[in-house]
Structures are given as C-alpha cells and as structure tokens.
Structure 1
Amino acid sequence: MKLAVQNLFRHRTRSLLTMLGIGAAVAVLFSVLSFNRGFEAGLERELKGTGLHFMVVPSGCAHEVAALVLHGAVIPKFLEAGVIDDVNRAEGVSLATPILVAQMPNPQGGRIDLIYGVETAMLPDIKPDWEITGAYPAAANELLLGYNVALHNGITPGDGIRYPGVEGVFTVTGIVAQTGSQDDAFIYMDIREAQAILQHPGGATAVGVKLTDPVRMQEVIEGLESRVPGIQIVTMGQVMNSVSTVAASARSLSLAVALVALIIGTVGVMNAILMAVFERTQEIGMMRAIGASRWDIFRIILKETALLTMVGGIAGILIAAAGSTLIEGFVRRVMPYMPTGEMLRFEPLLAMGCVLFAMTIGLLAGFYPAWKASRINPIEAIKG
C-alpha cells in the first residue's frame, strides 16, 4: 500500500486530474439517484396532501389532469351541468367538492389573478397540510391568499380586494404559509362567487372526491363512468404515474449522462495506470529480480487503481453535497414539474453505494494494467 501511494504521488497532476474525472462522474451519478428518490417521495407526499382519492374532470389529456391536481393548472374545459349532482349521489362518496380554476384580470392591482374557486368550508379537507395565518373564509365575500400573492402585493389579513363588475369588496381572512408550490400563487374563494365573476354559473373544471371506504374505489369509479358521459376519472396513483412519465425522460437522460461520464472517467483511470506501468518497466523488472512475485506486482497496481477511484469517488460525493442547492435550483428550472420540499439530500448508504460502484468499475479498468505489469520479464526490463 505504501508503494502504491508513493507511485501515485510521483505524478501528482496526472493523479489529481484522474481523480477529478472520477469525482465529477460520481457527483453526477449521486445527484441523479438522490434526485430520483427525493422526487418520488415528494410526489407521494403531495398526493397524500390533497386529501382526495380521485378527481372527476372533463375528458382530455392526463398530463393536464395531473397539473390540475398537483398545482392548479388552468384547464380550458368545464364539466357539464349535472355532473356534480351525479357524483354526490354516487354510493360510497363521502366528500365531493367542485373546483373552478381560472385566470381573472385585476385592474386595481395591475395583474392577472389565478382564482381557485372551491367550497371554502372543505379547504381543510382538501389541503390538510396547510398552515394559515388568520382564518379560513367563512362567508361568500371572503378570500384566502397564497403566500406569494400576499407577499408581492403587500396584502395582509383584513385587507380588501375589488374585481371589475362585482359589487362590494372581498375581505382577505387569511394567508397560506409558504408551501413552495403553485399553491402560493392562487387566490382561494367560494366557488359560487368565482362562477359569478367568470360568468360560468354552475361551471367547474373538476370535482374532488373522497370516499367513505377507499377499498371500494374501483367499484365507485366504474359506476360513475358508466352513468356519466364526457368525464375522465383519475386516481392519485394515476396522477403519480402521469407526472412520473413526464419527468422520466429527463431523469433517464441525466442518468445516461452520469454513466457515460463514469465510463469516460474509468477509461481515464486505465490510461493513467497504463502510462505509469510503461514508465516504471525497469523498476518493476528490478522488483521481480529481487524476489517480488507476479502476484505482488499485480496487487500493487490494483491498489493504485483502488486508491484513485476511492478518493475520486469521495471527492465526487463532497462536490455533490456542497453544490446540492445549485443543482436543485437548476433542475427545478428545467423540469416540467417538481414537488415541493428538498429533492437532493445526503444519504450515507446511497453515497457509499456510489463510491463502491465507482471503485468496482475502476478495479475492472485497472485489471488489465495490473495483469500487464505482472507479465513483465525482469531480465528484458532491466536491459531496457
């Protein structure tokens, strides 16, 4: 081991660059795997946080439905009149709340407001994880504001908001604590008020449904689909699959890039060790001449490879941990959807697995140089 360490220090620059190559590959690999785990956990947490079992929406794209369920995307379709009554009458439904999501001009504030119309009394059931400063709306002319809306416009509980064509003033009763999601950008109001302002009486973009017995979900869904035309029913599990599919291509590409980088780093290790072997041919021949076995030579070269990849792998983990905030910020800008919460977290077992994987690949790369060194003929090597 001492000889292996000394040999690496003979060419510090070459060894350092080889380690950095391995480190960069391991950093990318660890970041991608850590992100995948955090993404799945965050998505599952958000779906559980909806407090609903499935959504009834107009027939259309599953990705639009996923966007509506998870962060209130505006869908330019409305459920037909009577759908809400049909859902409420279905056996096994304990909660069915219409939801109307739309954009609305606010000339007073010089902005476009995102309106989330809902039966406000059911908000604690739909969003059980929210923390509220103030109180939930209790009357038709009361509003609940998302964190960003309140922050950017300097609105506090008790302030009033006016909308064109609407008599009276809406009173802000509460502010939702920051969630880090699209929930922060919405203004929540009674759905009947939203329908009146948007001139869509009885209109809704979705119906959120909670069941008395989730075990009977498939039975309830089949019953609704057979009785009510023009609807699409999406469970929270299907939403997870839909969003995961959208993000899968980006994650797969990142993982492929990480593996390619690791292969390139491995080739760099093989090249560095082979160069070291060729430069030390006479030295290895002298070691053989004074009694070193082929196995001794093989072990020395293999230990050099193991040291390079191990130190490079550890450096890569440290780089990923130090730059996790920057990496996550970049991913959030390019991904089509990201759950709230921290995606990149340091997990010791995952870090250890990445380092061991890099060492395994590195040892395989070092096998040929080690074998080549062990086959050097001592007499011919000393002669030069």
Structure 2
Amino acid sequence: MSGFLNLSWQNLLRHRTRSILTMLGMAASVGVLFSVLSFNQGFNQGLETELERTGLHFMIVPSGCAHEVASLVLHGAVIPKFLDTKVMQHVRSTSGISLATPILVAQLPDPQRGKIDLIYGVDMAALSAIKPGWQIDGKTPTQENEVLLGYEVAQHEKLQPGDTLRTTEDGRTLIVGGIVNLTGSQDDAFVYLPIETAQALLDHPSAATAIGVKVDDPSKMVEIIESLSAAVPGIQIVTMGEVMNSISNLAASAKALSLSIVLIAILISAVGVMNSILMAVFERTQEIGMMRAVGASRFDIFRIILEETTIIALVGGLIGIFLSVLGSRLIETFVRSVVPYVPSGELISFDPKIAAGSVLFIFIIGIAAGVYPAWKAAKINPIEAIKG
C-alpha cells in the first residue's frame, strides 16, 4: 500500500462509525442497482426459455387483450371467454400445422372440501409437446377420470399417485395418475386433466380458452396465420414472440420505476459521501495545515482526500454486490409475491459484467462526490489553519 493510500486508510479508521455508515449507504445503492439489472437480465432469459419450452408457435384465442393471452400461455390464467372447439376443424385442415391442441383453463369449486381447484384441461396426448420440461412421478393420465397434479397441489393435499382427489357432483371420481415434479412456476398450482373431462365438469362440452398450435416450418407461419384469420372470424392469433414482447413491455415499465428508485438512492448516497468527507476535512483543518507547512502540495492534499472517497466507494460497492448475491433468494421471493408473472428458475445470479458495471458506476459517483471536499481541503491556507 502506497504512503498516500495508507494515510487515507488510517484517516478513515479514525472515524470508524462514520466511515462504516457511509460505506453502507454506498453498499445499499450498488446492491439495489445490481439486483435490478440482474433481475431484468434473468427475467428476459427466463421468459425466453419458458416460451421455448411450450413447444408452440402461436395461440388461437377469443378476441381480447394480448396481456391475457400472455398470462394464459405462461401460467394458465383464467380468461372469461371461450372458443368453440369446432374451430379445431379449420385448424387441423390448414396446411403446414403439425400440432394443434385445445386448452381449457378454469376454476372448479369443490363444496365437499371447501376449496376451488384451478383446472387445466388439455389433450393429454399433446402434453409432452407443450410441457417438454416436465418430469412426472407416476404416469400421464390415460383415462377420463385420471388427473395430473401440480407439485404444490399434491403437497398441500398430501396426495400420491393412486389417491382420490375428489368426487364430482355427477358422481365422477377423479384419481391421481401422476404428480408433476417441482417446476418453481405457476404450473405447480394446477390440476391437469383430459380436456373432455374438464368440459364435462364445467358443463361446456365444446369450450376451450385457447388452441395451441405448432407449425412444420416456422418460416411459413405468417402465411398460416393469415389463412386461419381469414377462415375463422372472431379469433385472435398471438405468436410467442408477441407474447414475449407483451410481457417484456410490462417488465420494462417496472424496471424503469425500479431504476428511478435506484437513482434516488444513489443520489442520497452521493450526498452522504460528500457530507462525510467534508466533515472529515473540517475536523482536520489544522492537521491539513501542518501537512502543507511541512511540504505537502495542494495536489497531495487533494489526492489524499480523493483516495479516501475512492476507498469508501470501492469497499461499499463490493459489500453491496456481496450482500445482493447473498440475499438473492430473499429478493426473488419478495418479487414473486408482488409481481403477477415471473419466470421460473434462478433470476438473480452473479454476473461479473453486471457486478463490475455496478461497482464502476458507484465508483464514478463516489469520485464525483469527493471532488468538492478534496478541492476544499486543497484550498486550505496553512498559516490560517495552524492558527485555528
């Protein structure tokens, strides 16, 4: 450690409490900045991964809001509109389509248990295509009265494959065929069953909330969509890219708000650094005057004070990154509790580029905050300072 840097460090140690509090202020700012940037990156990557996992190229739904479609695709939102599954005839007769499956998502009350099940009716033969990442304990339902439970449902009801989930009003007994292993997404909260069974339970024999479609050649998807739109009035077709853009726009709004809060926190931290260093300068006026009297130049004084600011900014920044990574799971848990949709998987992880960029940014802010106190210290007149 150079002489000037060592002197700067010793000066900070003389006022440990103030220095620590100032560093913690910087740590909080860089920690929040790192978390927001990391979460945004993880969100976009997770969203893209989940859309790829659906195995679908576009969704056919009743005319409505694209945000509702996005929610349906990604976590089975309940949409108060239905398609007539007769649309499937037009879909399957359209050239270039390799997979088309109706999906029926709804809430199903169970008076006996005093609960409401979230059911997800689907063609079980197509389940592996639209949920390729799932691992199932037991088997995929092959009978009309068999169901597949999401992990959270199975844990809450304490059910295993072969157990009875419920007996419906029409006397139908629903048996657990299998349980989906933990996905960390909203998929864990649903009861999956053959779409014919779901239609019967809801008394909507030809209803679907959406039809998922996969094409043979993605390059011809625009032609296929135009053909379907012309053949079937009253439908809305949304591609996975449009779903991603829709949710990404919502995430961008949240990101803008978060960054605004971060900038305010950084501004407060910068003022705190400036105040802390200025107080240190004023308290050491006579000391600085003696240093000038024994040969220290204005630049030497400026450098010492600026190095104190550098230490505070760098140490505070590194502490902030460490605490953010350490508390990433808590941050993710909080975000998932307040944000309507968050992709599954780890969203906040250590990224060297984001970490380095966050520390560099807070370092520049810290240096900028320390320039005025350093200039003020360099301007001290040695004779007046010694006289007090």
TM-score range (shorter-chain normalised) is over 0.9
Correspondent of 1:323 among 316, 323, 327:
327
Other-structure match for 2:365? 361
RMSD value, Cα: 1.7
The one-letter code matched in structure 2 to 1:175 is I
Other-structure match for 1:277? 281
The one-letter code matched in structure 1 to 2:152 is N
Q: Is the Cα–Cα contact under 8 Å of residues 270 and 365 in structure 1 kept in the other structure?
A: yes
Q: Is the Cα–Cα contact under 8 Å of residues 247 and 336 in structure 1 kept in the other structure?
A: no
Correspondent of 1:166 among 167, 170, 175:
170
> Is 1:300 the counterpart of 2:304 in the alignment?
yes
TM-score (norm 1): 0.95
What's the offset of the Cα at 1:161? 4.1
What's the offset of the Cα at 1:375? 2.2
The one-letter code matched in structure 2 to 1:329 is T
Matches within 5 A, 1:1-384: 1-80=5-84, 82-384=86-388
Q: Distance in 2 between matches of 1:278 and 1:152?
A: 63
CA deviation digits over 1:8-51, x for unaligned, max 9?
12222211111111111111111111111111111111111111
Q: Is the Cα–Cα contact under 8 Å of residues 247 and 337 in structure 1 kept in the other structure?
A: no
3-state DSSP of counterpart to 2:201: helix
Farther-moved stretch of structure 1 (152-161 vs 32-41): 152-161
TM-score (norm 2): 0.94
What's the offset of the Cα at 1:162? 4.5
State the number of aligned residues. 384
Q: Tell me which stretches of 4 or more aligned residues in structure 1 moved more than 6 Å.
A: none
CA deviation digits over 1:163-185, x for unaligned, max 9?
43435433322111111222112
3-state DSSP of counterpart to 1:364: helix
Farther-moved stretch of structure 1 (276-285 vs 48-57): 276-285
Q: Distance in 2 between matches of 1:158 and 1:143?
A: 10
Q: Distance in 1 between matches of 2:169 and 2:177?
A: 22
Q: Is the Cα–Cα contact under 8 Å of residues 142 and 189 in structure 1 kept in the other structure?
A: yes
Q: Is the Cα–Cα contact under 8 Å of residues 121 and 137 in structure 1 kept in the other structure?
A: no
3-state DSSP of counterpart to 2:315: helix
Q: Is the Cα–Cα contact under 8 Å of residues 166 and 173 in structure 2 kept in the other structure?
A: yes
Q: Is the Cα–Cα contact under 8 Å of residues 69 and 243 in structure 2 kept in the other structure?
A: yes
3-state DSSP of counterpart to 2:373: helix
What's the offset of the Cα at 1:56? 0.4
CA separation of 1:167 and 1:275: change in aligned 2, threshold 3 A = closer
What's the offset of the Cα at 1:302? 0.8
Q: Distance in 2 between matches of 1:266 and 1:168?
A: 67
The one-letter code matched in structure 1 to 2:115 is R
Q: Distance in 2 between matches of 1:107 and 1:155?
A: 19
CA deviation digits over 1:329-384, x for unaligned, max 9?
21111112111112221223322221121111100111111122222232333333
Consecutive unaligned residues in structure 2, runs of 5 or more: none
Q: Is the Cα–Cα contact under 8 Å of residues 34 and 354 in structure 2 kept in the other structure?
A: yes
Q: Percent of aligned positions with the same letter in both sequences? A: 64
What's the offset of the Cα at 1:300? 0.8
The one-letter code matched in structure 2 to 1:276 is A
